[in-house]
Amino acid sequence: MHNLPKPQPCGQPWLEMQPTANGRLCGQCDKEIYDFTGMAWPTIARTQAEHGNALCGMYTPDQLKHWGQVSPPNACAKLAAATTLALALSAVIPAMAQTSGGRKLTGTVTFVSDKGKPEPMPFATVLLAGTQVGISTDAEGRYELLLPDAKALPEAAKIQFMSVGMTTDEWPLPLQSDGPLQHDAVLHLNPTSNPSVFSVRQPSLPERAKWTLKSLFSRRLQ
């Protein structure tokens, strides 16, 4: 646990990022920012270790203050209350339709190791580009993604396969194909990636409430 470096603060706004299966996608650096706010320290350390301690993430002030330690009970209680209120506010907005009547895409994601040998890529992000439809691979690099109906797909739809420190792989989705789809992606180490990790500030409850009401008002105008 003590080998996990404390992340540097980042000023990117969490609420304006595109949601992913594990958190949000930063439009500034094209990295997936993990939501660690609901995790205990052992889970944070384990998740980071599985990704080479290279994940940027959103943390609570108490998590950063007690870095490398189990947060005090009162901090956990405040976190639970904040999470409950945030979920209640988000429930005001109707959930976006994800997948209905679509096709299933399955496959594996691997990466080429230093020895030139393909190995399973656990917890990689598999995302339908331009949407919030995404999922993470399991510990063996396998995934199963249910796609929206063909009418709901964006033009020139493509699937993105991403992981921190790796190059992004994109696969054009065959729109005319019927039935289940299968694709195996191979990621490579990104020689230009910056190993530095950052922490995104957790939005306050007033900020979340303001963002929720703003989103609700915008949808009603559409």
Domain extents in the chain: 8-95+194-221, 104-187
Query: What's the pTM?
Result: 0.47
Burial class from Cβ neighbours inside 10 Å (0-12, 13-18, 19+) for residue 180 reads: exposed
Segment 123-138 shows an average pLDDT of: 85
Q: For 142-154, write each residue's pLDDT tens digit.
A: 999 998 887 777 7
Residue 209: pLDDT band (50, 70, 90) is confident
Alpha helices in the chain (DSSP H): 41-50, 61-65, 73-90, 205-221
Q: What is the CA radius of gyration of the chain?
A: 19
Q: Which of 101-105, 126-130, 172-176, 216-220 is the most confident on average?
A: 126-130
| pLDDT of 134 over the 50 cut | yes
The predicted structure's pLDDT at residue 3: 56
Fold of 104-187: Immunoglobulin-like (2.60.40)
The predicted structure's pLDDT at residue 54: 84
Maximal CA-CA distance, the chain? 55
The predicted structure's pLDDT at residue 191: 67
Express as a percent the part of the chain with pLDDT over 90: 18
Strand order across the 198-201 sheet: 8-10, 198-201, 57-59, 32-35, 23-25, 18-19
The predicted structure's pLDDT at residue 172: 92
Q: For 40-64, write each residue's pLDDT tens digit.
A: 988 998 888 788 788 899 999 899 8
| pLDDT of 65 over the 90 cut | no
| pLDDT of 117 over the 50 cut | yes
The predicted structure's pLDDT at residue 101: 55
Express as a percent the part of the chain with pLDDT over 70: 74
| pLDDT of 180 over the 80 cut | yes
